[in-house]
A and B are shown apart, each in its own frame.
Chain A
Amino acid sequence: NQSSSVLLMGKSGSGKTSMRSIIFANYIARDTRRLGATIDVEHSHVRFLGNLVLNLWDCGGQDTFMENYFTSQRDNIFRNVEVLIYVFDVESRELEKDMHYYQSCLEAILQNSPDAKVFCLVHKMDLVQEDQRDLIFKEREEDLKRLSRPLSCTCFRTSIWDETLYKAWSSIVYQLIPNVQQLETNLRNFAQIIEADEVLLFERATFLVISHYQCKEQRDAHRFEKISNIIKQFKLSCSKLAASFQSMEVRNSNFAAFIDVFTSNTYVMVIMSDPSIPSAATLINIRNARKHFEKLERVDGPKHSLHMRMR
């Protein structure tokens, strides 16, 4: 059984380890200051979306090491790659070198896994002045798209200090879900039956929003990232007490929100704007829907296990 790989690559110091820690290992941005430079090949497993396993390889990216590893292990690394995520430090003073490395990776991809999806993260955007950000990102995006041909790449601007990191990873993950259309159709039906304003589906380990349905215009366009962050922060707080939260209900006179375990890999958040509907009714509805969605997930079965390597 061939396993599929997600590669997380980029020059040394571009922010890969921090990024990985925040998305997968539940470090909040502040804690990543304590992570030292990765100086050796680091390997860790992360379960992702239940039937996917990410094996993270962090090779540190120190130049000579990188060169050696690259040449000797090249075919191995770049075979069966489903996704390449390449991280660029927006403040880098060696733009040419960065592009050179990136192109080497792309060549290897073209040779070994031509169907791979390529994502470029222009990272550490917080270090750029706010009024310059759009401009600089557009410039980089144009360059990268040009350089990547014939492969097409999707670019995101990211920073660990705001919601852009989440947004980028959410988008990437969304494209990794095998049956995402079916999931969305079912979610829509569910939302309509229970008369919810909005329903969000989260991946359980990272709380990235992987699917959603809304029946009414919502005022806050950034709410997915915010909610992900809010819940993750709270999860982190609970873990300090060696506990974790199972479910949550928040309400005021205008709304009621329910966050609960859904399937073995997901959490669901249901927003009701009719506060007269008793909590118990919504909770029962969620419980019944759970069984249905579990069946969906099982039908698809373990499609692939993803190996994720970082360079």
Chain B
Amino acid sequence: MSTDEEYEEDELQALSETEGECEDGVLQFSDSLTGEVKPRILLMGLRRSGKSSIQKVVFHKMSPNETLFLESTNKICREDVSSSSFISFQIWDFPGQIDFFDPTFDYEIIFRGTGALIFVIDSQDDYVEALSRLHLTVTRAYTVNPDINFEVFIHKVDGLSDEHKIEKQRDIHKRANDDLNDAGLERIVLSFYLTSIYDHSIFEAFSKVAQKLIPQLPTLENLLNIFISNSGVEKAFLFDVVSKIYIATDSSPVDMQTYELSCDMIDVVMDISSIYGLANSEAALPYDKESTAIIHLNNSTVMYLREVTKFLAMVCFLPKDSFGRKGLIDYNFHCFRKAIEEVFDVRVKVQQNRKLLGQRRWSKLTAANTR
């Protein structure tokens, strides 16, 4: 992702960004004003496999039942979720019937700037065609950009029994890898996830995909570890509140149910704040700097939510006794929050430096050419 050539190319393009839903084949790049390169997540897969529904449910808080009314996507829809979400990704939703050999689209440019390619397979349907498409897509993308993370969502598994799910995953995994081996491309690594928009599995899968693309992840994990060990906290997540994707957690193992309960807590907080917590002004937001929530469960566990940045919240689980020392926890949290701010400040500074470097090189080049 971070090659100098790529930065130069972005400067050459220098297209300003438009917020918008569907682009008609005109490929937009990063905003040359802020200099932030936003990695791309591509959602690909056959027609009706569930790509648009996934995007709507994860990033637009659409209820899964409402997705039944979504129409077929017939253009590439590029969604920039960075304004409302921490995740500064572009989600490209491709129509299922896209043709790689169509000269209108320059796939090289698309794949070049891509961080992760999610291929969605409808597990309730016959997936032979899906597998061959997966193979074609992956091999093409790999030749352009070998650094892409290839993620396969085995989707719509809500109707299947656990045994059935594992069986499907095993089968798809085997076939996909066999195809790659036959083509001599064993080095391509595919990750598989069982997903459904009707439960939390899609959020969990997206969390993992997003985490692989965040360069600061080890630092964030480290900070969380330090926080929990000094505060008597058992588990802590750093959530993006809009999408309910967690971008980091401490090193202790993640229990799906704990994750789900955290998502539900965020829902409760957002919903109640939207009813009672809006100031009288028009531009009021339910989630602000002082957003906090405490939930006491009957099993002596306390759930504690604190705002970290305008997109991020920390949700942690601690025993009731630890919560007795709330003052200490709040102080530690204060330090943690400051550290997070610094981590992200560094990122912005690095981006700006790179941009300056790129500009200098460019002006040297043009100066050299004119001589």
Q: Which residues from chain A sit less than 8 Å from chain B, CB to CB?
A: 30, 197-198, 218-220, 223, 226-227, 230-231, 233-234, 237-238, 240-241, 243-255, 257, 271, 275
Residues of B near A271 (CB, < 8 A) are 276
Q: Knowing that A244-B298, A252-B277 touch, tell me 8 more A-B residue pairs with CB under 8 angstroms.
A: A219-B278, A230-B271, A233-B268, A238-B261, A243-B299, A250-B293, A253-B290, A255-B273
Which 9 A-B residue pairs are closest in the complex by CB-CB distance? A237-B264, A253-B290, A252-B291, A252-B277, A249-B294, A246-B296, A250-B293, A230-B271, A247-B296
Majority secondary structure of chain A interface residues (helix, strand, loop or mixed): mixed
Contact indicator per residue, chain B 239-277, by CB within 8 Å of chain A (1) or not (0) = 000000000000000000100110011011101110111
Asked whether, in the complex, the Cβ of B294 is within 8 Å of the Cβ of A237, the reply is: no
Q: Kindly state whether residue B371 has any CB partner on chain A within 8 Å.
A: no
Question: How many angstroms between the C-alpha atoms of A247 and B293 in the bound complex?
Answer: 11
Our pick among A227, A240, A244, A255 for the contact of B297 (Cβ within 8 Å) is A244
B266 to chain A, nearest CB (A): 11
Asked whether, in the complex, the Cβ of B264 is within 8 Å of the Cβ of A253, the reply is: no
Asked whether, in the complex, the Cβ of A243 is within 8 Å of the Cβ of B297, the reply is: yes
Chain A: CB-nearest residue to B293: A250
Question: How many angstroms between the C-alpha atoms of A233 and B266 in the bound complex?
Answer: 12
B274 to chain A, nearest CB (A): 9
Asked whether, in the complex, the Cβ of B288 is within 8 Å of the Cβ of A252, the reply is: yes
B321 to chain A, nearest CB (A): 16
Question: How many angstroms between the C-alpha atoms of A101 and B101 in the bound complex?
Answer: 66
With A241-B257, A251-B293, A252-B288 in contact, do A220 and B275 touch (Cβ < 8 Å)? yes
Residues of A near B298 (CB, < 8 A) are 243-246
Asked whether, in the complex, the Cβ of A237 is within 8 Å of the Cβ of B261, the reply is: yes
Question: How many angstroms between the C-alpha atoms of A197 and B277 in the bound complex?
Answer: 12
Question: How many angstroms between the C-alpha atoms of A48 and B240 in the bound complex?
Answer: 39
Residues of A near B273 (CB, < 8 A) are 250, 252, 255
Q: Which residues from chain B sit less than 8 Å from chain A, CB to CB?
A: 65, 257, 260-261, 264-265, 267-269, 271-273, 275-279, 284, 286-299, 301
Asked whether, in the complex, the Cβ of A248 is within 8 Å of the Cβ of B290, the reply is: no
Q: List 11 A-B contacts (CB under 8 A).
A: A220-B275, A231-B268, A241-B261, A243-B299, A246-B297, A249-B295, A250-B292, A251-B277, A254-B288, A255-B277, A275-B290
Question: How many angstroms between the C-alpha atoms of A248 and B294 in the bound complex?
Answer: 6
Question: How many angstroms between the C-alpha atoms of A227 and B276 in the bound complex?
Answer: 10
Asked whether, in the complex, the Cβ of B291 is within 8 Å of the Cβ of A251, the reply is: yes
Residues of B near A250 (CB, < 8 A) are 268-269, 272-273, 277, 292-293
Question: How many angstroms between the C-alpha atoms of A243 and B295 in the bound complex?
Answer: 12
Question: How many angstroms between the C-alpha atoms of A223 and B277 in the bound complex?
Answer: 12
Chain B: CB-nearest residue to A273: B276
Chain B: CB-nearest residue to A226: B275
Residues of B near A248 (CB, < 8 A) are 268, 293-296
Residues of B near A227 (CB, < 8 A) are 272, 275
Residues of A near B292 (CB, < 8 A) are 249-252
Residues of A near B257 (CB, < 8 A) are 240-241
Task: Identify the interface centre among B272, B276, B286: most chain A CB within 10 Å of its CB.
Answer: B276
Asked whether, in the complex, the Cβ of B297 is within 8 Å of the Cβ of A245, the reply is: yes
With A241-B261, A251-B290, A251-B291 in contact, do A257 and B296 touch (Cβ < 8 Å)? no
Asked whether, in the complex, the Cβ of A234 is within 8 Å of the Cβ of B268, the reply is: yes
B127 to chain A, nearest CB (A): 26
Residues of A near B277 (CB, < 8 A) are 250-252, 254-255
Question: How many angstroms between the C-alpha atoms of A249 and B303 in the bound complex?
Answer: 10
Question: How many angstroms between the C-alpha atoms of A197 and B65 in the bound complex?
Answer: 35
Asked whether, in the complex, the Cβ of A243 is within 8 Å of the Cβ of B301, the reply is: yes
Chain A: CB-nearest residue to B299: A243
Asked whether, in the complex, the Cβ of B264 is within 8 Å of the Cβ of A252, the reply is: no
Residues of B near A220 (CB, < 8 A) are 275
Chain A: CB-nearest residue to B198: A30
Task: Identify the interface centre among A30, A234, A252: most chain B CB within 10 Å of its CB.
Answer: A252
Residues of A near B265 (CB, < 8 A) are 234
Residues of B near A257 (CB, < 8 A) are 272, 276
Residues of A near B275 (CB, < 8 A) are 220, 223, 226-227
Question: How many angstroms between the C-alpha atoms of A255 and B292 in the bound complex?
Answer: 11
Question: How many angstroms between the C-alpha atoms of A220 and B278 in the bound complex?
Answer: 11
Residues of B near A30 (CB, < 8 A) are 65
Our pick among B264, B269, B293, B295 for the contact of A233 (Cβ within 8 Å) is B264
Question: How many angstroms between the C-alpha atoms of A218 and B291 in the bound complex?
Answer: 20
Asked whether, in the complex, the Cβ of B260 is within 8 Å of the Cβ of A237, the reply is: yes
Residues of B near A246 (CB, < 8 A) are 296-298
